[in-house]
Structure formats: structure tokens, C-alpha cells
Amino acid sequence: MTSSVPAALMAAGDLTKRPVVTLGGEAVAQVKDVVLDGAGGRIAGFTLAGRGLLSGPLRKSLPWAAVHALGVDAVMITSAEALEDKSAVASSEEASGLVRGARVLTDQGVQVGTVLDVVVEAGREGRVVGVEMSSTEALGRRERTVFLPLGDCPAMPAQDTEHAVEELGELATALWRKRLAGPGRPGTTGLGATGLGTTGEERTS
């Protein structure tokens, strides 16, 4: 487990309409939806829409393996040839994970929140590193939006709630502190009702 401060963080929902740009600077599509691999705790890929006058859904998708890097302003690919048939991502049997509305539970079954969105890390790995959630009284923050850093296996118990923060900008530091602290203690939280899928309109859960 690395103890370094993570790269720029962003909510997966904010990636919709993000341009998909080649290394040569050509914008070939925009993100329509984000598909998550819950078991791996990473982005599985993107479904796509056209740009400008061609802004409707495309019959193409972008598997994460073909992504050069996820940037703050764009998804970078080497060339337009990286785009594949839509079924390469949207019909992936491995695409499952943290969906909006999933309950965040302690390993004792106490609900501490409901997932509003997931937070991913910029760069080449596409890791899911946190969740944005609406908290319950059990967390001491009833019906407030908080951000919870996740461990190396975000779909598995246990995840510490003690590092929850109230701003996305604070999550990188909270994640760094969690990594320094090491594995969570018994009695901390895991994610219940898991099955992460697409994060936008095409999610199936």
C-alpha cells in the first residue's frame, strides 16, 4: 500500500460530457457514462456520445485498457482507433460495483450513509478511492453530504469512517492519512448492497 498523497480526485458523475481527446489534440467523442468494475475498484470504461452537432449516443465505447490517462479536463487516448464497439464496455459481465443509492454499512450492519457518487483518481489507473454519501445519525452527521476514503478493496469490508470529511478537496489528505494508518480495525465500515455499475443514465441497478 502506497503512502503517497493521491493525484487529483474527481466525482465519477462529473466525468460525463468530459471530452475524449487523442494525444494529437483531436476531440473524437465525449463521455456519456462511466462504467465501474466494483470487484477491482476501478473504472471499467466509458460509454460515449458525439461532440457538437453529433452529440447523440455513439455506438462506440472506450474500455479503460485503451485509456492513456484520465486528466482533469479530458480523457486521453492515443488515437481514435482506441474506440471499440459499445458492447465492449456496456455489456461487460465484469462491470459491477458501487451504484448510487447503495447503503454504506458497518460490518455490524449499521447503516452510516447512502452512496451519492464515487470518487476516482486521475492518472492511468482509474482507481475508485472514495464515495460521496448522504450520512445518517450513526455517523454523527445526519443527512449531510460527506466523503469517505476507501481502502484497497472498496467493495469489501472494512472501511474506516473516522476519516470521513465534508469537502471533496479534503479527501486526498484523508485518503493519505488512511493509507498511513494501514488496514482498518474490526468494527469499522464496509459497503453494503454493493454491485457498482454504470454511474449515469445507463446504470441498471
pLDDT digits (tens, 9 = 90+) for 47-81: 999 886 656 678 889 999 999 999 989 999 999 99
The rounded distance, in Å, linking the Cα atoms of 89 and 179 is 31
The rounded distance, in Å, linking the Cα atoms of 85 and 189 is 38
Mapped onto helix, strand or coil, the DSSP state of residue 146 is strand
Q: Are the beta carbons of 64 and 108 closer than 8 angstroms? A: no
Over residues 28-51, the mean pLDDT reads 87
φ/ψ of residue 133, rounded to 5: -140, 155
pLDDT at 153: 53
Percent of the chain with pLDDT over 90: 25
Record the pTM: 0.76
The rounded distance, in Å, linking the Cα atoms of 33 and 46 is 6
Binning pLDDT at 50, 70 and 90, where does residue 144 land? confident
Binning pLDDT at 50, 70 and 90, where does residue 97 land? very low
Binning pLDDT at 50, 70 and 90, where does residue 86 land? confident
> pLDDT higher for 72 or 200?
72
Place of cell 465484469: 94
